Structure 1
Amino acid sequence: MKRLRAVALLMLACWTLPACALELYGIPADDIALWAAPVEGKGVFAAYRAEQAVNPASTMKLLTGWSALTRLTPDYRWHSELVSAAPLRHGVLQGDLYWIGSGDPRFANRDLQGMLRTLRARGIERIQGRLLLDKRAFSRIGSASDFGGDVGRVFMVDPDTHLTGLKVAWLRFFNDGNGARVTLDPPLAGVRLSSALSDGGEGPCDDVRRSVSIQVENEQVSVSGALPRSCDGAQSYVNVLDHDQYAAQAFAALWRELGGRGPAASGRGTAPPEARVLASHDSDPLLVALADINKYSNNTMARALFLTLGRVAGGSGDTVADAERAVRETLAEAGISAAPLALENGAGLSRQERVSARLLGEVLRSAARGPYAGEFLASLPIAAADGTLKKRFANLGPRLRLKTGTLDGVRALAGYWQAADGRRLAIVAIVNSPRAAELVPALDRVVSDLVTRFDPAAGVPPEYNLPVPPSLPVEPR
């Protein structure tokens, strides 16, 4: 029965694909959905199970990014402020300082340090009151459910109004003749770092984590092992503390580095209307954040962008619900049917999110025809060159730009091929299968076939067979 169903599906593919051919290279017929269409044309070049609801993994970031470009524009910037209603006398801010967060996904320690330098330039030497985090920007952050086994992993860091440095602390390693050692940057007061490093002598240092063991348990970070001398200056990162603790302790550490004293304590609070702005920071434009999100498939940043859509759209006061409404309205305005869309966090870090290959493909085609086509395209990984596509599609090269999607049971690709004559093909191919990880070479071959059918000049030899990647990622992308 299963074989008859597979044959029937392949016969259907013959009616929708050029040359009456669809080679799946071992992918079960029920486990793949694809859609491809010329950007400059009206028709559909290829469609197979294109209306089926499938888990897109991180290719969902394309929908969120396109919605953000459309509604916010590429030059949108997140604005953060330090404000206070307290008087400043003799270098002492005699009251509370409020940090108004905006959910900036790329807010880094250097940006916080810049704001603190402004405080010092104003003559503030000591903060007598508290540091209070004003978190009104997001009413709630939503969920990424059913990832309990991954709690504590960096890709699981939640978005936050005061996301700082992606809430990771850097471990910096040294072995320069004065003993093997490690430091924490920034030096967070609430994090205890213990080291049992020894001199590892000569040897390579491709990845310091291969030479040392790093364990994180609550606020305790323990590092042990033999550190090669070639690892002098190497660094790695750890996910520590909760968002409020990290933001407050990063503030305190950087403030001390600048010679500042205080604050007396930290917590949450709403800035009073009469508070004056003492320092502020405007982020890099949205298009910079979008490149980080798509090229490196950053879940935390994508979720923050999704929430920003909700914050800017407003309406119900529920940031997550408002974000979903903004995405659906963007689809409707572009004339794209939202069926069978299901959203959880807009990043694809979800067991619940669903799209169809057709829906995602229509988004790609709309993006490529829209006013921000260049910005959208520039955010995608380039085949065999960068991001999550750096080690794939060496045969096709930079004319192919695809967003990857990786979850347990999901492998996905979505993006564009540009032919030498300028014609473009929007491509979506999604595998949902318990064997998805081992089917990556077959998925890549299916995409290569679509490219060569659309553009015979692509020149992929018929005997071309993609090798299995040396290490398939097991973390969501």
Structure 2
Amino acid sequence: MARRDWWWVISAVLVVATAGGVTTFAALKSDADRSLIHDGALTVADPTRIFVPVPTDGSPTGEDPDTAGLVAALDEFAADPRLGHLVGSVTDAMNGEVIWAREATEEVRPASTVKILTAAAALLTFGPEQTVTTTVVEGEEPGTAVLLGAGDVDLTAAQLDGLAADIRAARPDGDPVDVFVDTTRWSADNFAPGWFREDIAAGYITPMEPVMMNRGLTDAARPHGPRSAEPAVDVSRALGERLGARRFGYTTAPADSRVLATVTSQPLMDRLILMMRNSDNVAAEALGRELALSRGLPADAPGAGRAVLDILTEHGFDVSGARLDDTSGLSDGDAVSTGLLDAVLGAAARGTELRPLLDTLPVAAATGTLTNRFDDRAGRGWVRAKTGTLTETSALAGTVTSRNGRIYTFAFISNGSEILPARDALDELASTLRVG
């Protein structure tokens, strides 16, 4: 059994309904003389609206719930021995009332639900449209170029092709260009306490450097496959190969060098969706380091964790007692309460700044790390939640629409439990909120 987050993502099915209007189709037949005969128009009824976000104007959503009955059901499922030591919090997103809590202020090991906090801090600081620009400048030595790591860890082969073309255009002599990489934007301390070197080959993490291809994955087609031990050097090598380079590696770029080429990342929202749905630790750690820099903190794992908690504090969240040794949840030293996770999700359900956070969450039995869960549960298609898995830790935090139209946010963390049994029990617990 793997020690870290692990997934079995076989397939994903996501059905998107478009509301509004009537769609008309014409059936066409061709007879022997090739004339066309039009049958009567077919109509498709307006789809049932399955998710109603909490209105920001305070208007009611859904029927009044049977809160007492729901609490009794939650208590019953929470007593399941498969859940080990369970802590949790459930909130009625419409009015912000916590309707069920079980040691919700206790700080426990949260695993990858930490990414909820990282995503929230990034949205509050940068906004969903923020991008990162990576620059290639002329090196001090003739015939060299330097790639400046700027925080984009998801460069693609196509983007490197574009950089190479721009560099050739800026250097019309056609001679080979040796490519080096400058990683000084982030701390040289690129591997956090609580991480393990064997997790690089296992696909969970890589040394954190401010420029990578495909988040350090050695095969872009395998989102949970092995990662590189030198991701920034890999970029200089890959770009150099396109330019006939004989040398590559680390360097420090000279000041005020001529810019040869630039490339821009995807907007933050796209990067958050990838991070949350795939539970990608490298994407989360990259964001954490950029948040640290935005606050003048060291661009390492402790600085990133401090930045996330400081940002949340400044926006009114109670983070007292929380500890983030990293911003992905990979470290055993992280400690977070379910009350904090639930509060952030509740703010996302009710407020405009954090509302995009809800769009990043995997959908039960449909997308991301929830693709192969909830198959026979009432929460199938209705629960949207971030997963978390470490040895003896299983977590689930997100939102669900009840059958009576009520919106709930929730956070459940199970410590001291076996992964698969606890995961199944958490799916039952979240589905209880769907039944209402």
TM-score by length of 1: 0.70
Aligned residue identity for 1:150:
D
* 1:425 aligns to 2:408 (yes or no): yes
Match of 2:270 among 288, 298, 301: 288
User: CA separation in 2, counterparts of 1:383 and 1:360?
Assistant: 19
Give the Cα separation in 2 of the matches to 1:290 and 1:36. Answer: 24
Partner SS for 1:404: strand
SS of structure 2 residue aligned to 1:358: helix
Seen in structure 2, the aligned counterparts of structure 1 residues 146 and 161 have a Cα distance that, compared at 3 Å, is closer
Structure 2 partner of 1:105:
153
Q: Cα deviations across residues 325-363 of structure 1 (Å, max 9, x unaligned)?
A: 321222222222112211111101111101011011111
Distance 1:313 1:49 in 2: 32
The equivalent of 1:402 in structure 2 is 385
Distance in 1 separating the partners of 2:306 and 2:99 = 31
Give 1:348's aligned amino acid: G
Return the match for 1:358 from 339, 342, 346: 339
Equivalent position of 1:324 in the other structure: 305
The Cα offsets for residues 402-447 of structure 1, whole Å up to 9 and x where unpaired, read as 1111111111000001246654211101100142432222221122
Query: What displacement does 1:27 show?
Result: 2.4
SS in 2 for 1:75: coil
Shift of 1:21: 6.0
- Contact 2:290–2:299, Cα closer than 8 Å, also in 1: no
For the 8 Å contact 2:369–2:387, the answer to whether it is kept is yes
Q: Is 1:37 matched with 2:25?
A: no
Stretches of structure 1 that go unaligned for 5 or more consecutive residues are 1-13, 87-92, 173-206, 208-234, 454-477
Give the letter aligned to residue 361 of structure 1: D
Match status 1:62 vs 2:95: no
Shift of 1:373: 3.9
**Residue 270 (structure 1) aligned with residue 318 (structure 2):** no
Alignment of 1:28-177 (within 5 A): 31-84=85-138, 94-124=142-172, 126=174, 130-139=178-187, 140-143=189-192, 145=194, 147-170=196-219
- Which residue in 2 is equivalent to 1:220? none
SS of the equivalent of 2:98 reads coil
**8 Å contact 1:410–1:437 — kept in the other structure?**
no
Cα 1:149/1:164, change in 2 over 3 Å? closer
* Aligned residue in 2 for 1:204: none
SS in 1 for 2:413: strand
Paired position in structure 2 for 1:249:
237
Q: Could you tell me whether the CA contact under 8 Å between 1:310 and 1:321 is conserved in 2? A: no
Equivalent-residue separation in structure 2 for 1:146 and 1:293 (angstroms): 18
For structure 1, which segment, 425-434 or 102-111, has the greater mean C-alpha deviation from structure 2 after superposition? Answer: 102-111
Contact kept, 8 Å, 1:105 with 1:289, in 2: the verdict is: no
Matches of 1:350 and 1:450, distance apart in 2: 30
| Shift in CA distance, 330/381, structure 1 to aligned 2, threshold 3 Å | same
> What is the alpha-carbon distance in structure 1 between the residues aligned to residue 412 and residue 151 of structure 2?
32
Distance 1:171 1:161 in 2: 18
Q: Alpha carbon RMSD of aligned pairs, Å?
A: 2.9
Q: Contact 1:105–1:159 (CA<8 Å) still a contact in 2?
A: no
Q: How many residues align?
A: 366
SS of the residue 2:209 aligns to: coil
> How much has 1:30 moved relative to structure 2?
6.0
Contact kept in structure 2, 1:99 and 1:133, CA below 8 Å: yes
Match of 2:71 among 18, 42, 45: 18
* 8 Å CA contact retained: 1:103, 1:308: yes
Equivalent positions of 1:179-328 (< 5 A) are 238-240=226-228, 242-253=230-241, 255=242, 260-262=243-245, 264-314=246-296, 316-328=297-309
Give 1:413-452 correspondences, 5 Å limit. 413-419=396-402, 423-452=406-435
Local SS of the residue matching 2:274? helix
Contact 1:339/1:355 (8 A) holds in 2: no
> Matched residues in 1 for 2:69 and 2:402: separation?
22
Check 1:299–1:144 CA distance in 2 against 1; reply closer, same or farther (3 A cut): farther
1:128-186 deviation per Cα after TM superposition (whole angstroms, max 9, x unaligned): 664221112212435152535534211122332121123333499xxxxxxxxxxxxxx
Q: 1:391 aligned to 363, 372, 386, which one?
A: 372
Is there any run of 5+ residues in structure 2 with no aligned partner, and where?
1-66
- C-alpha separation between the residues in 2 aligned to 1:381 and 1:410? 19
Cα gap change, 1:85/1:169 in structure 2, threshold over 3 Å: closer, same or farther?
Answer: closer
- Superposed CA offset, 1:295-321 (max 9, x none): 11011111111111112222x445444
Q: Give the TM-score normalised by structure 2.
A: 0.76
Indicate whether 1:378 and 2:359 are aligned. yes
Q: Among the aligned pairs, what percent are the same residue?
A: 28
2: distance between equivalents of 1:141 and 1:436? 29
Q: How big is the shift at 1:16?
A: 12
Distance 2:139 2:202 in 1: 39
